[in-house]
Amino acid sequence: MSPNLPETTAALLQRLGVAGDALGGGTLAARTPITGAVLARVPETTPAAAEAIIGRAQEAFLAWRRVPPPRRGELVRLFGEELRAHKAELGRLVSIEVGKIVAEGAGEVQEMIDICDFAVGLSRQLHGLTIASERPEHRMMETWHPLGVAGVISAFNFPVAVWSWNAALALVCGNAVVWKPSEKAPLTALATAALFARAAARMGDVPDGLLGLLMGGRAVGEALVEDARVPLVSATGSTAMGRAVGPRLGQRFARAILELGGNNAGIVCPSADLDLVVRAVAFAAMGTAGQRCTTLRRLFVHDDIYDALLPRLAGAWRSATVGDPLAEGTLVGPLIDGAAFAAMQSALVEARAAGGRVVGGEREHAQDWPDAWYARPALAEMPAQTDLVARETFAPILYVMRYHTLDDALRRHNAVPQGLASSIFTTDLREAERFLGPEGSDCGIANVNIGPSGAEIGGAFGGEKATGGGRESGADAWRGYMRRATNTINYGRTLPLAQGVRFDVGD
């Protein structure tokens, strides 16, 4: 069993540079899902304080936008150095605060380091087009400018990495950042902000308030969403959250980058390499205790291999070690809280009522840790893709269904509201290419012979439909954090008008 977690956490936070007064006397109880113990009581940001923090960020933006982008990249480089130096500590804090196994906690910090490296390179690559003009002695080009204060709302399951995808890009693009972390993960946010402050101090001339932190629940999130000084909000969380946030941003014509629910599926074809499938499916469905937005939740298995694959999956489901995420050998840590466990149980009741055959799903370690919520991942063989299967339950449940033709599998694959990540397992080139083609997966992420989760930051991340349409990290996501101006320059002595318009005034 893990040593005294409140004590370990206090020591970690101190090493990460979080001041003691940020941790006590507040109203936001930071708990560890490992035991359910309270680790700290963090002061919450009042609406008036939120107003002031956004104001300071706005001031910081006015100075930061004048700093040349490669110099802005230097701040992100130094932040990346802090993360490298404190990877193990911050990773462990992630594990303690949200229950990820140690390898995944460290992996989350690695993802932050990766996006910092990416953003540093990008800081010398922010580029626009030059465009041929129809008018003689004219030149057209586009120029990209900083946007303003970028709001970031992040979820508990990737409490720091998803923020960093947004923040690293937003900062090199010349924006200030105001961050509303999940109220279930305030400590990793405080630690990350402390590391950022160290990087800023090392750089020297960084304006105060460039990174603001809003601690608390819905009210402070709303303050960020409603504030006219915030032209962009990137929000990660449930589709319900996106439905609340998106229209409010639209109302004031602010930009939204939404990364919402997923209901990710895999298709296992007759030619698939089943050894690889078992490993890929196990990680994608059980990893992070089923609490990734990219978690594999639905699996379509071809009739010809169904009976060969299912016992192997059931074996993996039965044998995976569920327990203390800090202990070596654990594969599945706790669910974030009792509400998550209750949602999982009610989904399993519904699955059985619909004729599903369920392996796993039971509570574990209730004796050792009565205030924590460990569950054996569940494998539910379903007769059909019911309403339940089409919903995202944020817990380790994999619904398995049979298919006979790829057309039918593709139709059912796409017949859910969400469109984040997807996979096909096949060694048949035609099947793989169909899946990746226009009639294939309708998701933002479509993979071959790997699961839907665990994306690298080099590729754009996000999905379609009820997933919200946003794209973060990778590729050209930086454009989402800048405003584009189209410039036309006349270096001649006449004034030819576009489209051949004549407008001859006498003077």
List residues binding ligand UN1 (CB under 6 A).
111, 157-158, 162, 236, 292-294, 453-455
Q: What is the DSSP string of 251-302?
A: HTT-EEEEE----EEEEE-TT--HHHHHHHHHHHHHGGGG-STT-EEEEEEE
Contact between 160 and 108 under an 8 Å Cβ cutoff? The reply is: yes
DSSP 44: P
Minimum distance between the CB of residue 454 and ligand UN1, rounded to whole angstroms? Answer: 5
Residue with Cβ nearer ligand UN1 (45 or 182): 182
Helix (H, G, I), strand (E, B) or coil at 10: helix
Q: What is the DSSP string of 415-445?
A: -SSEESEEEEE-S-HHHHHHHHSTTS--SSE
Is 269 noted as a catalytic residue in this protein?
A: no
Residue with Cβ nearer ligand UN1 (106 or 455): 455
The Cα–Cα gap between 298 and 267 comes to 9
> What are the beta bridge partners of residue 302?
403
Q: What are phi and psi of 236, to 5 degrees?
A: -115, 130
Which residue out of 173, 269, 293, 443 is catalytically annotated?
293
Q: Give how far Cα 480 sits from Cα of 148, 213, 319, 484, Å.
A: 12, 21, 44, 10
CA angle 284/463/146 to nearest 5° reads 120
Residue with Cβ nearer ligand UN1 (148 or 287): 287
The Cα–Cα gap between 441 and 429 comes to 15
Minimum distance between the CB of residue 272 and ligand UN1, rounded to whole angstroms? Answer: 21
Minimum distance between the CB of residue 291 and ligand UN1, rounded to whole angstroms? Answer: 8
Name residue, tokens 């961050």. Answer: 179
First-to-last C-alpha distance (Å) of the chain: 89
Minimum distance between the CB of residue 142 and ligand UN1, rounded to whole angstroms? Answer: 31
Residue with Cβ nearer ligand UN1 (45 or 288): 288
Cβ burial 280-312 (10 Å sphere, 16+ → b, else e)? bbbbbbbbbbbbbbbbbbbbbbbeebbeebbee
Residue with Cβ nearer ligand UN1 (292 or 302): 292
Residue with Cβ nearer ligand UN1 (337 or 350): 337
The Cα–Cα gap between 447 and 218 comes to 35
Residue with Cβ nearer ligand UN1 (163 or 196): 163
Minimum distance between the CB of residue 3 and ligand UN1, rounded to whole angstroms? Answer: 29
Minimum distance between the CB of residue 464 and ligand UN1, rounded to whole angstroms? Answer: 16
Minimum distance between the CB of residue 157 and ligand UN1, rounded to whole angstroms? Answer: 5
- Token representation of residue 26: 């507040």
Is 472 noted as a catalytic residue in this protein?
A: no
Which residue out of 259, 381, 392, 472 is catalytically annotated?
259
In 3D, which of 442, 362, 418, 398 has the Cα closest to residue 284?
Answer: 398
> What are the beta bridge partners of residue 314?
none
Q: Which residues have a catalytic role annotated?
A: 259, 293
